[in-house]
């Protein structure tokens, strides 16, 4: 790993494309709770876009994920795994909502039909 204050000088000069992933603290204000969203879609046509996840617990508390910066490609019966992050962790989830967006202002709106979905906590894998 690289210290956060020196990552650019170490990674950017490399000739190959570089992606940097940063660990976050488990205490406020810098905590991030990561989940792996595993989706199999049912659409016959290929869909390309972004997914935002909203989770709600039994007490009615809701938290929304950050939008991924890269679009995912969804094909019929193909599994797609997406890393999602939340600024707050909810213990007992009662409801999961997904919003699919292509981020285009012009053109038809498309739906993403979900055949199977799993949301797994990476911070608490026993859930």
CATH code of the domain in which 35 resides: 2.60.60.20
**CA proximity to 24, closest of 1, 49, 51:** 1
Within a domain: residue 102?
yes
Which pLDDT score, from 0 to 100, does residue 24 have?
58
Residue 37 covered by a domain: yes
Q: Averaged over 109-124, what is the pLDDT?
A: 88
- 0.85 surpassed by pTM: no
Which pLDDT value is given to residue 80? 92
- Percent of the chain exceeding pLDDT 70 equals 73
Q: Is 76 a member of any domain?
A: yes
* 2 in any annotated domain: no
pLDDT band at 97 (very low <50, low <70, confident <90, very high): very high
Work out the average pLDDT over 39-60.
91
């Amino acid at each position: 790993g690289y210290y956060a204050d020196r990552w650019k000088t170490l990674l950017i000069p490399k000739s190959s494309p570089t992606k940097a992933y940063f660990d976050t603290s488990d205490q406020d204000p810098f905590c991030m709770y990561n989940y792996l969203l595993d989706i199999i879609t049912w659409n016959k046509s290929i869909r390309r876009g972004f997914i935002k996840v909203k989770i709600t617990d039994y007490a009615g508390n809701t938290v929304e994920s950050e939008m991924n910066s890269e679009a995912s490609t969804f094909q019929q019966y193909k599994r797609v795994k997406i890393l999602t992050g939340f600024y707050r962790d909810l213990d007992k989830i009662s409801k999961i909502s997904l919003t699919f967006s292509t981020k285009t202002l012009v053109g038809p709106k498309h739906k993403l039909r979900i055949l199977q979905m799993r949301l797994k906590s990476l911070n608490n894998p026993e859930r």
